[in-house]
Amino acid sequence: EAAFQTRARAQAIEDGVTLTAPESVFFAHDTVIGRDATIEPNVVFGPGVTVESGARIRAFSHLEGCHVSRGAVVGPFARLRPGAELAEDVHVGNFVEIKNAQVAEGAKINHLSYIGDADVGAKTNIGAGTITCNYDGVFKHRTTIGARVFVGSNTMLVAPVTLGDDSMTATGSVITRDVGAGDMAIARAPQVAKPGLAVKFFDRLRAVKAAKGKGV
């Protein structure tokens, strides 16, 4: 294994790939990386990975069974699982996992998201904490997100569900029905303010704590 990794790293560098810390990058037997791609430290390639010219894989990312197109940026701390297909100039950021999903040109999934069994349209922005809820305990279901969609942070997309082109979801929404093109979906409980309740609540807790301290 050590001898193979040494040869693979040397070959990648000879082929015009930039390895910023070669000794920390691990290849599979069939890894394909295009010229002028950049691989940062502590990246692991499982079987079936193709990275096109000009793409950048940032530190501590794990890739297997996926395709990363020209100009795309992955990581740091990203995971691409089998069936992940990233088109040109896609951004996949830290703590993002993608599985069996096609992500179209220029889409951004920058923070803390799971995108599984999904299609993401061009120029769409996926907010932090977005989850495609693809598994019902027996079957996997698909989520379809159109082009130029803005998915608000902490949105739960309960598949099967479709978001039309140019649509938007409000932060914190749980989306269970299709959203039409150009529409905004808001699916969250309304905020209710109870005047003075916080003070009363903590006064009560402190009184209980004091009573316990006295052995009452």
Is 111 designated active site? yes
Active-site residue identified among 62, 67, 91, 111: 111
Q: Which of 80, 86, 78, 84 is nearest to 100 (CA)?
A: 84
How many CA atoms does the CB half-sphere of 179 hold within 13 Å? Answer: 29
Return the residue matching tokens 């099967």.
160
Which tokens in the block code for residue 40?
A: 């940062």
| Burial of residue 199, with CB atoms counted within 10 A of its CB: 0-12 exposed, 13-18 middle, 19 or more buried | exposed
Q: Which of 55, 41, 144 is nearest to 91 (CA)?
A: 55
Which tokens in the block code for residue 94?
A: 């830290």
Q: Which amino acid is at 142?
A: R
Which residues carry out catalysis?
A: 111
